[in-house]
């Protein structure tokens, strides 16, 4: 036998490593408060231990409150917002069925692609970033699923939801809503607004680390997804298994399906507890107040808000039109270098159109708005006008 030699490890792994302190004032992730960071460092327990089931049950109650729903089929994905997007589509749509997607920024486009990849017949209703859809436009189609983004973080738009659930019901279509960027920042009422499937992410106004994503299905959605002819394309995201893992299927035993992110669930539970302590109404009010304060400050700097209609602005993520004569990348790089602060440019179709400031949950304070305004003013003063 020839001698086997161990490869040496790369020396970079033996170096000290630090995570820098940054002001995360972009569209997410947001800064995580010490109370949530602390529970994330608690000793791990088994994902199938009774204490873990209790934590998962608490998470379920927390999500029900945050979503304003009594749905039994309420769980968290082991994965980021995209996991919830895929779970929603994979479970409720079968290949060949038709899906209608409202595209007014990147998120509709992503869901359209996810649905196409699993073989759905996708129809896109397209508007430029920041555009919105009338209930009349939506009513003209007859899909099995309609997707809408509540908080379009790439454009800074908070889309009206009232009445759409009723239209979907009338046409026997499921209504799927993305609240990754808006939950806790702008009102949403899953049951009252007849939303059939709703999801969010952990890392925005909930202020938990990225990696978990609450999702809820009502009875109509459950009926469709548990009476399919074909199995969903994903084993990991199959709600037959996930509903058992989360104790939602009425069976006496929860069986092993996958190993959930134990620390991530500790953190998610704590973030939902903070929201429950604070109250949804208080959280919505605070986001609106701080956003209004930020709008005033931005206008005082001579900047233009990208969404002209104040009522349609997303309180958690504010979009600014790129000021004339400035290179947006230069402004953002300056702010990161000199203020250790993240703000971002656009995403997908809004690239080159906007700069984005996110003040979410724990970060949503007037003092932080002042810091962001101060950093922007400094960048505007010091970044040469390249085009003028």
For binding to ligand PMP (CB under 6 A), which residues are involved? 27-28, 80-82, 107, 149, 151, 153, 178, 180-181, 201, 210
Judge whether 151 and 307 are in contact, CB under 8 Å.
no
Nearer to ligand PMP, 107 or 328 (CB): 107
Shortest Å, Cβ 213 to ligand PMP: 6
Shortest Å, Cβ 343 to ligand PMP: 14
**Dihedral pair phi/psi, residue 144, rounded to 5°:** -90, -20
Burial 234-253, CB ≥16 within 10 A → b, else e: eebbbbebbbbbbbbbeeee
The whole-angstrom separation of Cα 188 and Cα 283 is: 12
The whole-angstrom separation of Cα 376 and Cα 343 is: 10
Shortest Å, Cβ 130 to ligand PMP: 14
Shortest Å, Cβ 286 to ligand PMP: 20
Judge whether 23 and 341 are in contact, CB under 8 Å.
yes
The whole-angstrom separation of Cα 299 and Cα 180 is: 27
Nearer to ligand PMP, 104 or 153 (CB): 153
The whole-angstrom separation of Cα 352 and Cα 306 is: 12
Closest CA to 325 of 384, 257, 246: 384
Shortest Å, Cβ 142 to ligand PMP: 26
Q: Which residue is nearest to ligand PMP (CB)?
A: 81
Nearer to ligand PMP, 138 or 181 (CB): 181
CA distances from 375 to 135, 280, 338, 366 (A): 40, 30, 8, 14
Nearer to ligand PMP, 202 or 283 (CB): 202
The whole-angstrom separation of Cα 349 and Cα 215 is: 26
Nearer to ligand PMP, 212 or 368 (CB): 212
Nearer to ligand PMP, 183 or 379 (CB): 183
The whole-angstrom separation of Cα 380 and Cα 332 is: 10
Nearer to ligand PMP, 30 or 153 (CB): 153
Shortest Å, Cβ 111 to ligand PMP: 9
Burial of 226 from C-beta contacts in 10 A (0-12 / 13-18 / 19+): middle
Shortest Å, Cβ 10 to ligand PMP: 29
Judge whether 361 and 205 are in contact, CB under 8 Å.
yes
Q: Is 124 annotated as a binding residue?
A: no
224, 230, 234, 237 alpha-carbon torsion, rounded to 10°: 30
The whole-angstrom separation of Cα 262 and Cα 265 is: 5
Shortest Å, Cβ 200 to ligand PMP: 9
Nearer to ligand PMP, 85 or 174 (CB): 85
Please enumerate, by residue number, every residue annotated as part of a binding site.
356
| Binding residue positions for substrate | 356
């Amino acid at each position: 036998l020839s001698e086997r030699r161990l490869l040496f490890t790369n020396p970079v792994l033996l170096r000290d490593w630090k995570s820098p302190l940054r002001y995360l004032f972009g569209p997410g992730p947001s800064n995580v408060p010490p109370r949530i960071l602390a529970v994330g460092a608690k000793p791990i327990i088994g994902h199938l231990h009774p204490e873990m089931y209790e934590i998962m049950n608490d998470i379920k109650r927390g999500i029900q409150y945050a979503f304003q729903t009594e749905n039994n089929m309420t769980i968290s994905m082991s994965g980021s917002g995209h996991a919830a997007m895929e779970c929603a589509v994979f479970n409720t749509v079968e290949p060949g069925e038709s899906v209608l997607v409202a595209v007014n920024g990147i998120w509709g486009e992503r869901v359209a692609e996810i649905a196409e990849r699993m073989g759905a017949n996708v129809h896109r209703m397209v508007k430029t970033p920041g555009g919105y859809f009338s209930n009349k436009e939506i009513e003209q189609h007859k899909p099995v699923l309609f997707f809408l983004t509540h908080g379009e973080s790439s454009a800074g738009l908070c889309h009206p939801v009232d009445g759409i659930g009723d239209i979907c019901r009338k046409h026997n279509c499921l209504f799927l809503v993305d609240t990754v960027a808006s939950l806790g920042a702008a009102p949403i009422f899953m049951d009252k607004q007849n939303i059939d499937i709703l999801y969010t992410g952990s890392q925005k106004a909930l202020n938990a680390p990225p990696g978990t994503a609450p999702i809820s299905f009502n009875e109509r959605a459950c009926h469709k997804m548990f009476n399919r002819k074909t199995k969903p394309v994903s084993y990991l995201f199959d709600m037959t298994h996930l509903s058992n893992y989360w104790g939602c299927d009425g069976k006496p035993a929860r069986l092993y399906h996958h190993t959930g992110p134990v620390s991530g669930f500790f953190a998610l539970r704590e973030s939902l507890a903070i929201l429950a302590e604070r109250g949804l109404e208080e959280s919505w009010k605070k986001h609106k107040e701080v956003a209004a304060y930020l709008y005033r400050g931005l206008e005082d700097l001579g900047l233009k808000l990208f969404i002209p209609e104040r009522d349609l602005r997303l309180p958690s993520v504010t979009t600014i039109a790129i000021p004339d004569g400035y290179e947006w990348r230069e402004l953002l790089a300056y702010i990161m270098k000199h203020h250790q602060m993240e703000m971002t440019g656009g995403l997908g179709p809004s690239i080159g159109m906007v700069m984005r400031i996110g003040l979410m949950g724990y970060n949503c304070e007037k003092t932080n708005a002042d810091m962001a305004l101060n950093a922007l003013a400094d960048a505007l003063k010091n970044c040469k006008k390249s085009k003028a």
